[in-house]
Structure 1
């Protein structure tokens, strides 16, 4: 643990008891000098989280490669061997979102159309327009004899949109533009007309629809651009995500409680499993993020192929991890464990999607 110098005095500074060795037998405080060099602040911080005695790295090793091992060890009463579940989750969560903040996956900085023209860069819409599907189809049909390959080409080109549709799509994605004055919400162009219609025909969902409509008209009146909305929505969602995940933890444990024996398993036990599993998820989400980020920075074909394979393997392992950990912790039979695990996985997937949608709605309402 610490490498501080042991005090010559044998009286504990914390509780006053006699200290024969390095640690006080009464309160556990280390009997070392209380004044240190400045760099000690940083080394002590690292030691507190990594525990050079192997506790931290042993915890990460078991978390990543031994599904359910940490939970089984903790519930068996061996609680000094690894980092406590709550501390582990907080630390992994802090590191994950700190890295997200340092290296954002998307930079929402949109140049105006004139700036793009100055840079002489073709957008994806320009490339789609350049691929004039109708002209290619007409040239193929002009042939005296059509081959099998020609038929396949015509079918594949048939799914491409025409130029007018591409123009509409491009206009929709022009992020430097403001919300169009003719834009509507639910068929209404102004807040006054919407409120009037809502008062005449009240709905059970007005508590959700009305705030969204009011925010839409507010942003429209302020002349906020699409880029500003997208940027604010992304930033607000990012700041709210850790809170949303923390709120979801007890719900995940509750689903586990529903599907397992109430006498054998306490809600506390499910909470420990949840903390370990979410720590694993956050850590692997960080790995996925870094792989995607690295792939976006390189144009080397072989390297990208390797990264994509690693990414696919990691995503498969993330899904399989839950089923393995669930079986090892709850000691259910193979088929029963798979069925219960599948139901839990599906239930949590839909519940989490509801949480994500709710987070997006809240984030939209928080845009200024």
Structure 2
């Protein structure tokens, strides 16, 4: 680990005590010069979060390959060997969402894709009349040979496939305006909706009214479907860290409910949750980066990457059960049953949170 330049004086700048070596025995402050080279800011930041003396890499290794060990070690009181849970979660969150900002996990259709789509649609529009004309020429013959019959069958099949493909490309082309006939609960304008709500209010108006107003606003402004999806993805992404942070105590609360409150404190469940969520964030990050690689590598390598992604997905699903069993030390069958119930509860609770996040994200589109 690199340090700042040490002071020649032996008095601590923070508390005034005598410092025999690097750190003050009274307050723990490092006895370094008040002014350091500019690069010290970055090295100090890295050291503070990752502890490059081995603590960080040892923490990551145990987090991934020894589910539950970090939690058990911390709860046993051995807290210097690994990165503390809160610091680990903050650092993992920072790295994950920083890389997501640089390499977004979602990608809307690019201009190149849109241009290619338009070319395909134009080619389809030209192909049908040509085939129909060719079909007419064959049909005008007085007598049809077997070859003509096969040709007619082939042309009809090609026309059918082109029409089917055109419908598909029309669906893929998201760069269309919101349909003027689009309505919300049968109301096509904000005025008619507000008038109806004034006469017949509902207990769900706190959600319906702002959602409908935003929909009518986007419709009136001529916003495209592609723009809405892109903005929705961007806003949802920026709200995701908040959603995960909000859900941390909820996850720990479910653990607290299903385990002996005398034996396990809420604090203990919080430590387990921080470690588990750190693992999930890193898994999501690795999964996304692997997916990014598939867009630039050849098919042969991609087969291996997709296999690795499936293994990672499966491991992330069983990780909770392994960690839960090793931390709470319940009987194998009981641990699996409790783990399954907790998994189900948290799945539906988090989906509810994601749905709420989606609504908030939609309302924040501008």
TM-score, with structure 2 as normaliser? 0.84
1:365/1:196 CA distance change after superposition, 3 Å = same
**Bigger Cα displacement from structure 2, 302-311 vs 27-36:** 27-36
Which residue does the alignment assign to 1:212?
Answer: 211
Residue 290 in structure 1 maps to residue 289 in structure 2 = yes
Residue 315 in structure 1 maps to residue 313 in structure 2 = yes
Residue 107 of structure 1 deviates from its aligned partner by: 3.0
Could you tell me how far apart the structure 1 residues matched to 2:37 and 2:75 are?
A: 40
Structure 1, unpaired ranges of 5+: 131-142, 144-156
Residue 34 in structure 1 maps to residue 34 in structure 2 = yes
Q: Does the CA-based 8 Å contact 2:92-2:278 persist in structure 1? A: yes
Instruction: State which structure, 1 or 2, has the greater radius of gyration over its C-alpha atoms.
Output: 2
TM-score, with structure 1 as normaliser? 0.84
1:116/1:305 CA distance change after superposition, 3 Å = closer
Residue 208 of structure 1 deviates from its aligned partner by: 1.4
Could you tell me how far apart the structure 2 residues matched to 1:117 and 1:8 are?
A: 70
Q: Does the CA-based 8 Å contact 1:68-1:329 persist in structure 2? A: yes
Q: CA RMSD, aligned part only?
A: 2.7
Which residue does the alignment assign to 1:252?
Answer: 251
Name the SS for the 2:173 alignment partner: coil
Could you tell me how far apart the structure 2 residues matched to 1:356 and 1:184 are?
A: 24
Could you tell me how far apart the structure 2 residues matched to 1:230 and 1:99 are?
A: 21
Matches within 5 A, 1:100-179: 100-111=100-111, 115-116=115-116, 120=119, 122=120, 170-179=169-178
1:167/1:7 CA distance change after superposition, 3 Å = same
Q: Does the CA-based 8 Å contact 2:114-2:173 persist in structure 1? A: no
Q: Does the CA-based 8 Å contact 1:110-1:175 persist in structure 2? A: no
**Can you list the C-alpha shifts for 1:296-341, whole angstroms capped at 9, x where unaligned?**
222x222111111111111111111100100111110000000000
Matches within 5 A, 1:199-278: 199-278=198-277
Structure 2, unpaired ranges of 5+: 129-145, 147-156
Could you tell me how far apart the structure 1 residues matched to 2:350 and 2:59 are?
A: 27
Name the SS for the 1:288 alignment partner: helix
How many residue pairs get matched? 335
Could you tell me how far apart the structure 1 residues matched to 2:22 and 2:169 are?
A: 70
Which residue does the alignment assign to 2:351?
Answer: 353
1:197/1:348 CA distance change after superposition, 3 Å = same
Could you tell me how far apart the structure 1 residues matched to 2:320 and 2:232 are?
A: 31
Could you tell me how far apart the structure 2 residues matched to 1:117 and 1:315 are?
A: 33
Name the SS for the 2:191 alignment partner: helix
Residue 114 of structure 1 deviates from its aligned partner by: 8.6
Residue 218 of structure 1 deviates from its aligned partner by: 0.9
Residue 325 in structure 1 maps to residue 323 in structure 2 = yes
Residue 216 of structure 1 deviates from its aligned partner by: 0.6
**Bigger Cα displacement from structure 2, 334-343 vs 33-42:** 33-42
Could you tell me how far apart the structure 2 residues matched to 1:209 and 1:289 are?
A: 34
Name the SS for the 1:12 alignment partner: coil
Residue 280 in structure 1 maps to residue 279 in structure 2 = yes
Residue 14 of structure 1 deviates from its aligned partner by: 1.2
Residue 365 of structure 1 deviates from its aligned partner by: 0.6
